Structure 1
Amino acid sequence: MTENADRPLDWANEPHMSPVDTIMWRGDTDRRMRGTISMLEIYDCAPDWDRLIAAHEWGSRMAPRFRQRVVDSPIGAGTPSWAVDPDFDLHYHVRRIRLGGDGSMRELLSTCEQLAMTALDAARPPWEGTLIEGLPDGKAAYFLKAHHALTDGLGAILGLAQLHSPTREHNPGKPQPPSPDPVHISAVDIITRQLDEEMRRIPHRIDMTIKGIRSLVSPRQALSTALRYGRSVPRVAGLVSPPGSPLLANRSISWRFSAFEVPFADLKAAATATRASINDVYLAGLLGGFRIYHEKMGTAIEAMPVAIPISVRRPEDPAGGNRIAVGRLAGPVGIADPFERVLTVREQVRAARHEPAVDLFNTLGAVMAWLPGSVLMQFSGTTSQNDLQASNVPGIPWETYVAGAKVERMFPFGPLPGCAVMATMITHNGTACIGLNSDGAAVTDIDLFADCLVAGFDEVLALAADDDVQPGSLQRLQ
């Protein structure tokens, strides 16, 4: 084993938060905007506890971010730093519980809801892992929660893919980087670093100013570009969107989880049949479920505000952190025909991805990061007006193991930044796993809502049906 082989992963190794990460971190000022992301893994057996602890100890050396806490500026503004916690205690971060009740999926999800709604300790590295035993047939589950400021969904998968094992057996030859040294950062260190960042931004801002002046050589073209961008800003900021559904209008701090799965091949077949993307089919299935739910509740609507993340991650970007922009849709809930609904979603998504101001929040992030959390929360209306936020993250396409247990499913659960429902899909080894986080005050009949989502997905999956092969169905785990 060479010295180079024992280096930690090139993952989430920036010494301080990006402006977008900072905005997410400060969002916790309002408990309704708490940015906790979660992953529920289902194992084919209970992993060996000692091996699991050792795997976490090893993983926190391979990805030192898991040993780092957030050190904020004494003025509560600007980007915070990451620093290895001198008091890092794995015993705090990794827990072990056993399900009560009947050990059902519903019991498991209820337990995960309670774990997810409990705030992370801001004085420690912002993550917790819980092994949950007592599932039927000797199976177990693992629930990982972390703050969204640590990574986005794609970054999380990139990290997990490297920390999970490709074999059930112990691998004694894996890299063994040393434990990172604790880091002490003073208030003066942070303020000095923040001022240095602002000084280094000056040449870029001067360059942008010069380009703006040069553009006046072609005033007509400059005006046209400015007008296109100006018209795009309200759309990207969510200031121009359909009204929210009156049925989903209420908001609370109560999270309710639902889990679904569907063969990825069936989603792909529906996408091929409609000449759309898998993401278009996924969104159309969700919106079909919302349509059926509204009809059964006696409150039909034509459209509702939907937000989707748009990855702006480039190959040269660090694997951790958040590299996302926001796309806005007028979700065509009122379109009953699934084919037309898929095509309408496809066109709206294409338009959202090509908005001139699509990267607005990353552009403004350097300025917004200097705002205190209480001021930032005044902009929360751009997310709280959404009825649905939906993301689709590529998963791990091969079999993975943790401490001798095979990972059968991975269900992601995003936060509720003021929206009624957050839907997240990850494809794990041929199965599309969908995790829904619903606001308990917005979706008042969670069982009916789940049944309607199954029906909505079945509508779009049926688009791929032919005489020889019938598509599968979305299955709710309960």
Structure 2
Amino acid sequence: MSERLRARDLAFLAGEDLTTPRHTTTVDILDPGSSGFDHDRFVALVRDRIAFVPRFRQRVQGVPGGLANPVWVDDVGFDLAYHVRRSALPRPGTRDQLRELVARIVSRPLDRSRPLWEIYFVEGLEGGQVAVLLKCHQALVDGIDTVDLGQVLLDGLPGSTGPVGAPDDADTWRPRRRSPVGLLTEALRDTVTDPQTLIGTVRSTSGRVVLAAEGAGRRTRGVAAALTGRRPVRPTVLQGPLSQQRRVVTLDTRLSDYRLVRDAHGGTVNDVILASIAGGLRAWLMTRGEALPSTRHVRAVVPVSVIDEELEATSLGSQMSVHEVDLPIGEVSPVVRLHQVSYSFAAHHATGKSVAADRLAGIAGFAPTTFHAVGARVAAQEVRRGFALCVTNAPGPQSPVYAAGARLVASYPVPPLLPEHRLAVAVTSYDGGVTYGITADRDAIPDADVLGSCVLEALQELVDASGDARPRAPRGRTGRTAPTGRKPTTAEPED
């Protein structure tokens, strides 16, 4: 029996248009060194490792008459050369040039008639480095049945050319052909014998109706405003109509800075990251002449790993949910901003369901790529909550990993923009560094690079404010009072 797309997977396909392509992207910078790593070796690596993620050789096939949800079927014309693409920058290629190339690539939707992923091998970077850009549709990587291809391309062995215990069919894969009649017969059988198939079809149909109604509603409101002379609701700097193009900003910081701030003022590394983003947003909005009263905040959702029997487990060994936090952009003091963010997460940690960062980082393979993909999916499902910003933070291994002998230097997540959300931020920690990927609408936020600089300055403010601070008490016995006067009720995880 074929595997059918679930209602939530179909929602990502149904909700996609030219202004909101639904794919997540990761940009890895690799140093070949003396390994001989080049395009040919990279293609061979992908050809070998793709056996670990069979979904990456399948495409979405609809069922005649729409009697059941579409199914994943083998792509009988699968062409690895189409998906693995070679590109180059004029030597010596700068990071600014790379970011511009990435922005253009992530702006384009994926081809629905093929497996929903592309990977670019970009040569010509300064210092002899290369970049690998992988973009995957949100319907493809669910973290349960399918992990991100990028997770299986990297390992901890500098001389490794392939994973241990490769699948028996790694070199013998043959696509299974499916006929429309066979798909129709299977759909009828599943509908009769499996109630979940009928329920899934009903949910998918109703979901598409809701999405269509929402789209029609937006268009109708715009037409009505034009006919009556009334102005539509004024978009904000973070929310409003989107263009088809993107801007991408990447930042490099040191994990030691976040740990310094954490040890001086309490909280977690994740709290320090969010406080830095809050401070960066504050300074950036000030450059735009925005009014910032002390009570102003930006509602953000932060996907987090939890242990919850009511949620579906991911390949990361836990479940994903979203935590809402009000980023205090109206607060002048960087330390108070940090305390307010920390207090927001105190209730989450007190549930006992939170998963420590060091546990996630210790998962075999390079898990952040899958974490970001799943986190973006979870956030997209909560878009009706009315938040203005999504921030995903994925802890990675703190020792070097390699791709066919080439050392990974840095990894930058490039999150997708949600409908009418003009900004998204994703963060990854790896080998002593913390990297940011900021995606912005090209037309609405032309000064995205200024926001990046402001985030770096906000982090430096916290570091400067930590130099003379007293060390915290041992973890779990801090006794530090939260901004509201209440004390945290539980020790917080390492990161």
TM-score, shorter chain, exceeding 0.5: yes
Partner of 1:22: 10
More moved, 162-171 vs 346-355: 346-355
User: Match for 1:319: what amino acid?
Assistant: S
CA distance 1:111–1:19, change in 2 (3 Å): same
Q: For 1:272 and 1:412, how far apart are their aligned partners in 2?
A: 27
Match of 1:319 among 291, 315, 320: 315
Of 98, 110, 113 in structure 2, the residue corresponding to residue 120 of structure 1 is 110
Which has more helix, going by share of residues? 1
Please state how far the C-alpha of 1:306 moved relative to its aligned partner.
1.6
In structure 1, what is the equivalent of residue 219 of structure 2?
none
Query: Residues 76-123 of structure 1, C-alpha deviation per residue, up to 9 Å, x if partnerless?
Result: 686543222221110111011111376110100110111111111111
Separation (CA, whole Å) in 2 of partners of 1:298 and 1:403: 49
Matched-pair contact (CA < 8 Å) for 2:157–2:401: yes
Contact 1:150 1:320 (8 Å CA) reproduced: no
- Structure 1 unaligned blocks of 5 or more: 1-13, 203-242, 356-378, 470-478
Q: Separation in 1 of the partners of 2:145 and 2:428?
A: 13
How many residues are paired up?
392
Aligned to 2:327: 331
> Is the contact between residue 16 and residue 80 of structure 1 (CA under 8 Å) also seen in structure 2?
yes
2:186 alignment partner in structure 1: 189
Mapping for residues 151-166 of structure 1, pairs under 5 Å: 151=141, 160-166=150-156
Could you tell me which of 245, 255, 272 is aligned with 2:263? 272
- Residue 173 of structure 1 and its aligned partner are, at CA, apart by 7.9
What is the CA distance between 1:320 and its match in structure 2? 8.2
Look up the match of 2:485.
none
CA distance in 2, matches of 1:84, 1:109: 34
Q: CA deviation at 1:62?
A: 2.2
Alignment of 1:225-374 (within 5 A): 246-250=236-240, 251-301=242-292, 302-312=296-306, 317-319=313-315, 324-350=320-346
Partner of 1:408: 409
Are the aligned partners of 2:88 and 2:122 in contact in 1 as well (CA < 8 Å)? yes
Q: Distance in 2 between matches of 1:164 and 1:94?
A: 16
Question: In structure 2, the residue corresponding to 1:443 is in which secondary structure?
Answer: coil
Does residue 1:65 correspond to 2:65, yes or no?
no
Indicate how the Cα distance of structure 1 residues 32 and 411 shifts in structure 2: closer, same or farther if over 3 A, else same.
same
Contact 1:155–1:320 (CA under 8 A) maintained in structure 2? no
Q: 1:317 to 1:415 in 2, by over 3 A?
A: same
Q: Which amino acid aligns with 1:303?
A: H
Aligned equivalents of 2:165 and 2:289: distance in 1? 59
For the pair 1:36 / 2:23, whether they are aligned, the reply is: yes
Work out which structure has the larger RCO, using CA pairs closer than 8 Å and 6 or more positions apart in sequence: 1
The CA deviation at 1:421 is: 1.2
Name the structure 2 match of 1:388: 389
Shift of 1:326: 3.2
In the alignment, which residue of structure 2 is the partner of 1:365?
none
- Specify whether residues 383 and 108 from structure 1 end up closer, same or farther in structure 2 by C-alpha distance, changes over 3 A only: farther
Q: Which runs of 5+ in 2 are unaligned?
A: 200-232, 352-379, 472-495
Q: Distance between the aligned counterparts of 1:354 and 1:82, measured in 2?
A: 41
Deviations along 1:423-448, whole A, 9 cap, x unmatched? 11111122111111111233232232
Q: Following superposition of structure 1 onto structure 2, how do residues 92-131 of structure 1 map, counting pairs within 5 Å? A: 92-100=82-90, 103-131=93-121
> 1:212 matched to which residue of 2?
none
Aligned equivalents of 2:428 and 2:144: distance in 1?
10
Q: Distance in 1 between matches of 2:245 and 2:385?
A: 14
Between the aligned partners of 2:150 and 2:114, the Cα distance in structure 1 is: 21
TM-score, normalised to structure 2, is 0.70
Q: Quote how far apart the aligned CAs of 1:169 are.
A: 2.4
- In 2: Cα distance, 1:80 partner to 1:354 partner: 41
Contact 1:21–1:321 under 8 Å retained in 2? no
Return the alpha-carbon distance in structure 2 between the equivalents of residues 201 and 83 of structure 1: 20
**1:157 Cα deviation (Å)?**
7.6
